[in-house]
A and B are shown apart, each in its own frame.
Chain A
Amino acid sequence: MAGKSGRTIANVPEKSLKKTLLCWEGMLVVLFILINIFCAGVSESYQFQNVLREMPKYLTEMFLLFPMAFILVLGEIDISVGATVCLAATMTCMASNNGLPFGVVILVCLLVGTACGLVNGLILTNFQELPPMIVTLGTQIVFRGIAEIALGSGGSISLTNADGFRMIAGKAGIIPYIFFVVIIMAVLFSVVLAKTTFGRSVYAIGSNRLAAYYSGIHVQTIRLIIYTVMGFMAGLAALFLTSVLYGANTTTGNGFEMDAIAMAVFGGISTSGGKGRLIGGIISGFTIICLRIGLGQINMNPQLILIILGILLILAVLLPNISSRLNVRKKA
């Protein structure tokens, strides 16, 4: 029984452990290749430019993955991000329709998202006893509720002037801009998590919160920052989502939180905290997106796709567990 104490040891870069981690990410890369070959085999339309064209909508969820990985490494969870995206997208459309210049519209979008994240962070750091899942469930209902009130009867808003958003949704050659933003963010978040004191503190908190606290890490400040950044990224996601929707409604962003969590977990980031690397989450994110695009193109029953994703998710965690146990037995 490796309890909480076992995890701290796991973070010391030991050679054998590093190997197993590498192994998981290596497996993901192999899986990614296999899935692409499979999709290209079954679907004639699974071609480079088609995949790139379909990707922006899915990529918006990747923005949520990065900060979600931080939150999961903390050993916490945020299920309000879908609602944050909804609220931010709603406010963005309203700001844009009120004739504000596009720069201000972007600012509004990011600010609304950040504010939502800040609310989560403030509640969670002031009432540390509260489980994040329940707090973010509450704020999820409230954020979406506010969006509902703002949207009023009709529950839907369209952009009267989509010029700015058309620009965001544009492409450099055949590669959509959002792709570059995702890559930049991916590098940024990966480096922060893996290379900085801040990132190491996050792992420390996730492994053993009390020990981290006693070793002088500002646990609550770090939590507040991470939840606020989560909100900011939800705002960014809302901005790009608006550019692929040209509007918002009360169901915008529904289920994004689960998709982001699934990507992270599939990438080897543990929800019990202290474990996992962002690169795994990023590869798994692209793997899931490609699988969805490919299966979508052969018109597979959407529920069947969800079943496949569910099985993959469980296997992704189950298989390494089993193999590591077999290893232990072999050693013994």
Chain B
Amino acid sequence: MKENKSILKKITDSREASLFIVLIVLCVVISLRSPSFMTLKSISDMLKNNAVIMIMTLGMLGVLLIGGIDISIASTLAFSGMSVGMLMKYSVVQNTFLLFLIAIGIGALCGLLVGLIISKGKVLPIIATMGFMYIYRGLAYIIANSQWASAENLGTFKDFALGSVLGMNNVIIVMIICYIIFFIVMKWTKIGRMVYAVGSNREAAQISGINTSNVELMVYTVMGTLAGLCGALAVSIYSSAQPNMLYGREMDVIAACVIGGVSMTGGRGSVAGALLGSLILAIIAKALPLVGIEAIAQNTVKGVIILVVIVLNVITQRMMDKNNLKGREM
């Protein structure tokens, strides 16, 4: 009896667990209306199609953890993706591995620049990244020069997203690797601790000897690197590079984090939460056409679900706090 209680308590005490329940409820409701949802293929399709958002959620987790925000990522993605596409189109570089490195490099540089402006120039993150959102998107248009890179130009590069290892799609493998690395880094390494420390209390972190501006710089560089990687991935997944790629989708990434319980004021949030948050968004996107909601109402439904989930988050949090208080009183 006592053990039962502690398990129950553990579940209600953890944000991730309550999210997990939301996730399961969502899945059950959807599979009731559409049996084809819960098949291996459908889930693998969903993961592949949302890999880009899910990977970038990790970077955003880091950024939000130190109390920052980055709305330039979709533009960074378009810039790196478009660069890769153009390199392929004009047959400058054909090697898939090299192209990925180039995309990651471009992303890292973009992120580094954002990080420098924010950490050394003391510009507020939302302003700096808003500026770079325009700049990188503009650069993507300029290097594209009104051309798109299509499937035909992309040769072997697009095969990456088709290939699989041990029955698992390459894209999904890349995503899982990213998640594992982040999980380990955030949970067990000094770097992860430093990020949390800076986010929870910057002054305290500073006094205890952490170079906060370097942590900030690192976080934005990592974000840019991931966005660069996702640029290459997106081009490979959709076999097409267009300068308006993922326009406005940075908000989805931020929403995924917040749904996953990451605090926008910093210091709170976990890789598991980010995973669950982005999964919930992915499931919504996948399920809306499947369950047969009128196309015209899909956006409204999506918005309402996001609002409901974050409000539920707050309510559970309040209940948790209340319970904790009760426990103390007793």
Query: CB within 8 Å of B: which residues of A?
Result: 1, 3, 77, 79, 123, 127, 129-131, 133-135, 137-142, 144-146, 148-149, 152-153, 258, 261-262, 265, 270-272, 301, 303-304, 306-307, 309-311, 313-314, 317-318, 321-322, 325
Contacts and interface: CB of A to CB of B under 8 A. Distances in A.
Given A131-B264, A134-B258, A321-B123, A310 B299 contact: no
A134 B126 contact: no
Contacts of B126: 77, 271
Contacts of B296: 148-149, 152-153
Contacts of B123: 314, 317-318, 321
A43 to B, nearest CB: 21
Interface stretch (B49-57, B159-167, B179-187, B305-313): B305-313
Interface in B305-329: 306-307, 310-311, 314, 317-318
A322 to B, nearest CB: 7
Interface of B: 69, 117, 121-124, 126-128, 130-135, 137-139, 141-142, 202-203, 206, 251, 254-255, 258, 263-265, 296-304, 306-307, 310-311, 314, 317-318
A314 B131 contact: yes
B128 A314 contact: yes
Given A142-B304, A304-B138, A271 B202 contact: no
B300 A142 contact: yes
B127 A313 contact: yes
A258 B300 CA distance: 22
Contacts of B311: 123, 127, 130
A257 B202 CA distance: 30
A313 B142 contact: no
17 contacts: A1-B206, A130-B311, A133-B254, A134-B254, A138-B310, A141-B303, A145-B302, A301-B142, A303-B141, A304-B142, A307-B134, A313-B131, A313-B134, A314-B132, A317-B123, A318-B121, A321-B122
10 residue pairs, one from A and one from B, having the closest CB atoms? A145-B300, A141-B303, A310-B134, A142-B303, A307-B138, A131-B264, A145-B299, A314-B131, A138-B307, A303-B141
Contacts of A127: 311, 314
Contacts of A307: 134-135, 138-139, 142
A142 B134 CA distance: 25
A314 B117 contact: yes
Nearest to A72: B126
Contact of A271 (B122, B127, B139, B306): B127
Contacts of B317: 129
Contacts of B132: 310, 314
A288 to B, nearest CB: 12
B132 to A, nearest CB: 7
A310 B135 contact: yes
A139 B254 contact: no
A148 B307 contact: no
Given A127-B314, A317-B124, A146 B137 contact: no
B313 to A, nearest CB: 8
Contact of B203 (A1, A77, A137, A270): A1
Contact of A321 (B121, B202, B255, B298): B121
